[in-house]
């Protein structure tokens, strides 16, 4: 395969004001940076996927009214506790039920898909909702190896080694910018038009360095890889080269954040999330347990250590405590945007959490 359609070629040039404005958010209220939302359409043991997706839709309407910058949904497969396995479908639904909120993928796992298919999906979304769509791209499978093989229709070994080439093809399809001698030069992605902003997502240094080299915005998964946050952000900034997209680095981090009326209530709400993560790490994904189940679970010493470590990196508590910890995290990381996720299935608790955060920053 001719690899002339490299991401470097697709991203070269100097930034335009319109492209940068779609990426850079607007801080509202007292918040020093824009606040955004990542939602996984969490399914609890007492809920259905329909319940989870209805909550996601209501959350989108609410955070739009409360002044949040953008809302992303994430691609995961084979996980009964997550209903957002088809981000493009969910984004289309959310966009139809909102009017100004930016919506996107956090992210699409590119190795699972043909780049042309992703270009067509997000070209369609951009045509339906001009100027409101973000395309966040990741290189992890977002699932177990057997499911990844089913997605990719292969029985061979799985690898993300060709991710830069896949990304280059995606960008070339979106921008109708293949070299004239490329095998895909005569293929046009339709609908085509203004290209949605492309973000690279990561939980390690690979995507950080690639995003920097391409001059793309970078989103780091602090909520499940906190130990790598500062090294990855440093690598992104050190690698950054001005491009047709950005003149300077723009980074956000995902943060697990749950606000409640009291610290005790917030802990009760987030404890099942920690137990769900523990089970996922043990290869036992399932619907998220209830608060009572998480309270009564008999943790081994090793399990308790994992939960304590996970909770130590999450932000939870009263609105005042959550705001203080978010402010400290922003100052420590120097990011331009915070993307909050509250992976709880309880509709009322989830909506109340984001409302309390918005009120704590005087966004509403």
**Residue 314 contacts residue 270 (beta carbons within 8 Å):** yes
Q: How far apart are CA 315 and CA 222, in angstroms?
A: 11
Pick out the chain residues at pLDDT < 50: 1-4, 9-13
Question: What is the maximum alpha-carbon separation in the chain?
Answer: 64
Angle, vertex CA 177, rays to CA 174 and CA 178, nearest 5: 110
Q: How far apart are CA 356 and CA 203, in angstroms?
A: 28
Helix (H, G, I), strand (E, B) or coil at 265: helix
- Please tell me what DSSP assigns to residue 176: T
**Residue 221 contacts residue 304 (beta carbons within 8 Å):** no
pLDDT at 332: 97
User: Before 130, cis peptide (omega within 30)?
Assistant: no
Torsion sign across C-alpha atoms 275, 278, 280, 282: negative
Residue 363 phi, psi (nearest 5): -80, -20
pLDDT at 142: 55
Q: How far apart are CA 278 and CA 69, in angstroms?
A: 31
HSE toward the beta carbon, residue 294, CA cutoff 13 A: 22
Q: How many CB atoms lie within 10 A of CB 111?
A: 19
pTM score over 0.85:
yes
pLDDT at 16: 64
Q: How far apart are CA 361 and CA 359, in angstroms?
A: 5
pLDDT at 6: 58
Looking up tokens 């940076």 gives 33
Structure-block tokens of residue 16:
């335009």
Question: To the nearest whole number, what is the mean pLDDT of the chain?
Answer: 92
pLDDT at 225: 87
Torsion sign across C-alpha atoms 136, 142, 148, 151: negative
């Amino acid at each position: 395969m001719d690899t002339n359609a490299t991401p470097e070629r697709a991203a070269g040039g100097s930034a335009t004001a319109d492209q940068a404005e779609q990426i850079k958010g607007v801080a509202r209220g007292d918040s020093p940076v824009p606040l955004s939302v990542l939602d996984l359409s969490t399914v609890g043991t007492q809920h259905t996927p329909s319940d989870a997706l209805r909550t996601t839709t209501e959350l989108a309407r609410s955070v739009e009214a409360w002044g949040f910058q953008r809302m992303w949904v994430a691609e995961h497969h084979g996980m009964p506790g997550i209903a957002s396995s088809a981000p493009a479908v969910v984004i289309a639904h959310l966009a139809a039920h909102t009017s100004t909120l930016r919506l996107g993928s956090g992210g699409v796992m590119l190795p699972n898909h043909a780049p042309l298919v992703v270009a067509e999906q997000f070209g369609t979304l951009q045509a339906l909702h001009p100027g409101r769509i973000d395309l966040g791209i990741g290189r992890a499978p977002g699932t177990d190896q057997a499911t990844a093989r089913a997605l990719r229709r292969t029985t061979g070994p799985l690898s993300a080694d060709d991710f830069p080439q896949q990304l280059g093809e995606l960008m070339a399809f979106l921008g109708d910018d293949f070299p004239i001698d490329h095998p895909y030069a005569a293929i046009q992605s339709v609908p085509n038009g203004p290209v949605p902003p492309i973000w690279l997502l990561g939980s390690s240094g690979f995507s950080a360095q690639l995003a920097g080299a391409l001059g793309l915005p970078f989103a780091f998964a602090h909520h499940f890889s906190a130990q790598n946050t500062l090294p990855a952000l440093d690598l992104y900034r050190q690698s950054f080269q001005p491009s047709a997209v950005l003149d300077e680095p723009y980074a956000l981090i995902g943060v697990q954040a749950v606000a409640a009326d009291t610290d005790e209530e917030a802990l009760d709400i987030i404890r099942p999330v920690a137990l769900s993560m523990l089970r996922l790490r043990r290869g036992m994904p399932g619907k998220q347990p209830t608060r009572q189940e998480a309270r009564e679970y008999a943790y081994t010493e090793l399990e308790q250590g994992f939960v304590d470590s996970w909770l130590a990196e999450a932000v939870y508590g009263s609105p005042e405590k959550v705001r203080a910890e978010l402010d400290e995290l922003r100052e420590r990381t120097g990011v331009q945007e915070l993307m909050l996720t509250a992976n709880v299935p309880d509709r009322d608790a989830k909506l109340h959490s984001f409302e309390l955060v918005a009120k704590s920053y005087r966004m509403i």
